[in-house]
């Protein structure tokens, strides 16, 4: 269960969130829990999470270790700051910041090399779904960004299926729609990495997951968890999602 805080909250807000959130998930051993704040709030989140079960993640990384890349952050820097996870290829990065399959792959390889667990996002846009191209798009994203990994590298990643039309819009995919897409993605994994890898891989659903729809989504055996934006910003709301 991962929270993507996008460009929200200050360091102070981050500390307050954890004070409220940690007691609510202290016994939630059924799930791995991650919070992904903005880069500058990672130290506050790591300090506030302490020895709890909540892992901290970044929302992106650059693939070089270091160098003259003004404004970028590397894997070793995130690792040293205490990150365990990193979101890669979020649709907002694809849409506004020129992310492509090629850069998704580069970032994923760098994350794995530096001991971070990538959460790699895929998902179709509305016009792609409406023109019956969902599977074509998911296949292209998988082939370009994920299939080139070795089996050992693939075992380190979590996939997040996030239909772009459901992100921040209040429109969730129905549990059946999400499960269909997850089944298709798992089939791509099976074809490339084998049945055991497909069964073991975790595929999260993301897109307007809320306390009142998480149960229906999680009732689908194909859905292994959630990547949550808006509803992860408030401690009680994200805790009730974690504890669905």
Q: Give the interface with ligand PGA as residue ranges (CB under 6 A).
A: 4, 162, 167-168, 206-209, 227-231
CB closer to ligand PGA, 41 vs 208:
208
Q: What is the closest distance, in whole angstroms, from the C-beta atom of residue 4 to ligand PGA in the complex?
A: 4
Q: Of 99, 124, 162, 222, which is the active-site residue?
A: 162
Q: What is the closest distance, in whole angstroms, from the C-beta atom of residue 232 to ligand PGA in the complex?
A: 7
Closest chain position to ligand PGA (CB): 229
Q: What is the closest distance, in whole angstroms, from the C-beta atom of residue 50 to ligand PGA in the complex?
A: 25
- The Cα–Cα gap between 61 and 15 comes to 23
Q: Is 162 a catalytic residue?
A: yes
- The Cα–Cα gap between 233 and 6 comes to 9
Q: What is the closest distance, in whole angstroms, from the C-beta atom of residue 103 to ligand PGA in the complex?
A: 18
- The Cα–Cα gap between 73 and 77 comes to 7
Q: Across 130-216, where does the E strand assignment appear?
A: 158-161, 203-206
Q: What is the closest distance, in whole angstroms, from the C-beta atom of residue 88 to ligand PGA in the complex?
A: 12
Dihedrals φ, ψ of 161, to 5°? -90, 115
Q: Are 135 and 220 in contact (CB under 8 A)?
A: no
CB closer to ligand PGA, 76 vs 216:
216
Residue 207 CB neighbours (<10 A): 26
CB closer to ligand PGA, 101 vs 162:
162
The single residue listed with the structure tokens 């129905």 is 174
CB closer to ligand PGA, 9 vs 193:
9
- The Cα–Cα gap between 156 and 54 comes to 18
Q: Are 175 and 223 in contact (CB under 8 A)?
A: yes
Q: Is 102 a catalytic residue?
A: no
Task: Give, in order, the Cα–Cα distances in Å from 92 to each of 74, 81, 106, 162.
Answer: 20, 24, 18, 11
Structure tokens at 202: 């975790």
- The Cα–Cα gap between 57 and 127 comes to 31
Q: Of 90, 92, 182, 222, which is the active-site residue?
A: 90
CB closer to ligand PGA, 55 vs 207:
207
| Residues labelled as active-site residues | 90, 162
């Amino acid at each position: 269960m991962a929270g993507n805080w996008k460009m929200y909250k200050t360091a102070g807000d981050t500390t307050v969130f954890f004070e409220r959130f940690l007691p609510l998930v202290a016994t939630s051993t059924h799930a791995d829990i991650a919070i992904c704040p903005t880069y500058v709030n990672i130290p506050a989140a790591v300090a506030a999470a302490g020895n709890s079960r909540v892992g901290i993640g970044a929302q992106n990384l650059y693939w070089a270790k270091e160098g003259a890349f003004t404004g970028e952050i590397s894997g070793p820097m995130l690792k040293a700051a205490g990150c365990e996870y990193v979101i890669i290829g979020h649709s907002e990065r694809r849409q506004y910041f020129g992310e492509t399959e090629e850069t998704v792959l580069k970032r994923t390889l760098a994350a794995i090399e530096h001991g971070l667990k990538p959460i790699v996002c895929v998902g179709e846009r509305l016009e792609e779904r409406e023109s019956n191209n969902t599977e074509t798009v998911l296949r292209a994203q998988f082939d370009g960004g994920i299939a080139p990994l070795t089996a050992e590298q693939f075992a380190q990643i979590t996939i997040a299926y996030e239909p772009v039309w459901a992100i921040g819009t209040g429109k969730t995919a129905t549990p059946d729609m999400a499960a269909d897409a997850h089944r298709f993605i798992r089939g791509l994994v099976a074809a490339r990495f084998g049945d055991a890898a497909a069964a073991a891989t975790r595929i999260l659903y993301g897109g307007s997951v809320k306390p009142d729809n998480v149960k229906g989504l999680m009732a689908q055996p194909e859905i292994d968890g959630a990547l949550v934006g808006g509803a992860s910003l408030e401690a009680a709301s994200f805790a009730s999602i974690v504890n669905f």
